[in-house]
């Protein structure tokens, strides 16, 4: 390796991440996030190679549904479901037949993962009971799709209860860098979220943890966030891109520039070479069709198909066609067990 | 023609609906009843949505 190659962050990443499977450190990630547009193709190509080397070609497809929408007591500034902001989103509960239908529709796309989500600080007895009854009904419907949950901050008893229900993965996003979190949420702390994730991991559930890009964080804080996620070591990292929601404190934020977003996706892949990185909310607006393909060829290996919790996504058929064109097989259920 | 904007609930005839006509609007289900501007209860599912007005009933992605 020449002297120049020894200092070039992509050359270093090729050896450190691609060859040895060791994620980049925070200062290296800052360098990646500052690479000029002229090197974006090179960066995406390396991120894709890392994904193929350490994760393989399969793409995990997931559907998500909200069982309890709106009226949340927390003040996450990006979220239209907070009861503290004048958002047009009204509270709603999804009944069990509706949940079963949503799981059935998700499985019909070939998806192997179905995530049950609630807009709450943490689950109460009514919600835990709803989730338990819902999972039972999904199974009685003959649907063996993997079930994940995202129900906010948990107690140890609730963690144990979810394990007993057969929930195999738990989503709880740290959302942003620790240093930026107080600018995004004031009703609970980053550390409370971390504690839930620790309990989830120790109980044997898979950990799903990511966040939202474009909430006013600096480049350094994006790198900080990726490094903090690497320290956590999630099985899955969902990457959302802010879609400014009417009535929320972030409603006038700009949508992240497409190239910046691609650079960020690739940087997260270089921080988390072995994790599943999922394209999540906001990709339609931030990336469009072309950018979505570039992301799939730039480190991403999982997607949410269909709609999100309160907003709409691309038709599932379009994403499935895209994966077919890219010759990326959908991860089989048998591969996840 | 709808009397009210389903995104913001203002009269549809009002000229300024810039945020309701942008690219983000295509990614949002209706939130306000087009007949009376009441906020609707909206349930989004992976493959569709339903929106219910307490006075004017339910519309869905299948019927819209």
Q: Which of B8, B19, B44 sits opposite A66 (nearest CB)?
A: B44
Which chain B residues touch A63 with a CB distance below 8 Å? 46
What is the token pair recorded at A204?
């044997």
The length of chain B in residues reads 64
E runs forming strands in A142-242: 146-150, 169-171, 206-208, 211-213, 236-241
Q: Which of B42, B44, B45 sits opposite A90 (nearest CB)?
A: B42
**Residue of higher predicted confidence among B12 and B32:** B32
Write out pLDDT tens, residues A188-239: 999 999 999 999 999 999 999 999 999 999 999 999 999 999 999 999 999 9
CA angle A293, A114, A129 (to 5 degrees): 155
pTM: 0.95
For residue A21, the tally of other CB atoms under 10 A from its CB is 12
Put simply, the answer to whether A90 touches B47 (Cβ < 8 Å) is no
What crossing angle do the helices spanning A40-54 and A258-271 adopt, rounded to 10°? Answer: 40
Write out pLDDT tens, residues A120-154: 999 999 999 999 999 999 999 999 999 999 999 99
Q: Is the pLDDT of residue A337 over 50?
A: no
pLDDT of amino acid B14: 80
Distance from CA of B64 to the nearest CA of A (A): 14
CB pairs under 8 A between A and B: 78
Distance from CA of B11 to the nearest CA of A (A): 16
Write out pLDDT tens, residues A230-259: 999 999 999 999 999 989 999 999 999 999
Nearest residue in B to A88, CA atom: B31
Distance from CA of B7 to the nearest CA of A (A): 8
Q: Tell whether the torsion through CA atoms of A277, A102, A154 and A217 is positive or negative.
A: positive
Q: Is the pLDDT of residue B23 over 90?
A: no
Put simply, the answer to whether B42 touches A310 (Cβ < 8 Å) is yes
Distance CA A105, CA B42 (A): 18
ipTM: 0.91
- B contact test, residue of A69, A89, A119 with most B CBs within 10 A: A89
Contact call for residues A245 and A251 (beta carbons, < 8 A):
yes
Put simply, the answer to whether A284 touches B27 (Cβ < 8 Å) is yes
Residue ranges per domain, chain B? 1-64
Residue in this structure with the two tokens 């503290």, named with its chain if needed: A84
List domains and CATH numbers for chain A.
Answer: 43-325 (3.20.20.70)
**Residue of higher predicted confidence among A263 and B25:** A263
Write out pLDDT tens, residues B33-46: 999 999 999 999 99
Q: Spell out the alpha helix ranges (H) of chain B.
A: 18-21
From residue A120, alpha-carbon distances to A52, A127, A144 in Å are 37, 9, 27
């Amino acid at each position: 390796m020449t002297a120049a190659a020894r200092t070039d962050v992509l050359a270093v990443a090729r050896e450190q991440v691609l060859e040895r499977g060791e994620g980049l450190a925070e200062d290296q990630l800052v360098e990646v996030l500052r690479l000029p547009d002229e090197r974006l193709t090179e960066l995406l190509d390396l991120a894709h190679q890392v994904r193929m080397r350490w994760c393989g070609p399969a793409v995990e497809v997931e559907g998500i549904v909200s069982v309890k929408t709106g009226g949340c007591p927390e003040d996450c500034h990006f979220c239209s479901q907070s009861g503290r902001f004048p958002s047009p989103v009204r509270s709603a509960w999804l009944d069990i037949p509706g949940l079963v239908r949503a799981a059935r529709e998700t499985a019909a796309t070939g998806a192997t993962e179905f995530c049950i989500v609630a807009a709450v600080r943490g689950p109460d007895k009514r919600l835990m009971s709803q989730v338990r009854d819902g999972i039972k009904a999904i199974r009685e419907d003959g649907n063996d799709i993997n079930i994940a949950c995202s129900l906010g901050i948990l107690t140890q008893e609730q963690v144990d209860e979810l394990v007993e229900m057969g929930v195999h993965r738990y989503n709880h996003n740290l959302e942003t860098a620790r240093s930026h979190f107080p600018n995004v949420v004031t009703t609970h702390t980053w550390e409370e979220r971390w504690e839930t994730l620790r309990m989830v991991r120790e109980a044997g559930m898979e950990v799903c943890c990511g966040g939202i890009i474009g909430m006013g964080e600096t480049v350094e804080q994006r790198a900080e966030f990726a490094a903090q996620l690497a320290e956590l070591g999630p099985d899955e990292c969902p990457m959302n891109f802010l879609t400014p929601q009417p009535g929320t404190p972030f409603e006038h934020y700009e949508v992240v520039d497409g190239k910046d977003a691609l650079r960020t996706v690739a940087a997260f892949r270089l921080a988390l070479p072995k994790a599943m990185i999922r394209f999540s909310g906001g990709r339609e607006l931030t990336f469009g069709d072309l950018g979505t393909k570039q992301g799939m060829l730039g480190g991403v290996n999982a997607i949410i198909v269909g709609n999100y919790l309160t907003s709409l996504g691309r038709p599932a058929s379009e994403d499935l066609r895209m994966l077919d064109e890219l010759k990326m097989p959908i991860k089989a259920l048998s591969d996840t067990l | 023609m709808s009397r009210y904007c389903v995104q913001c609930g203002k009269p549809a005839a009002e000229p300024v609906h810039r945020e309701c006509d942008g690219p983000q609007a295509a990614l949002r289900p209706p939130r306000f009843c087009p007949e009376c501007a009441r906020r609707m209860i909206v349930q989004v599912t992976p493959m569709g949505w339903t929106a219910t007005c307490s006075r004017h009933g339910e519309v869905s992605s299948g019927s819209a």
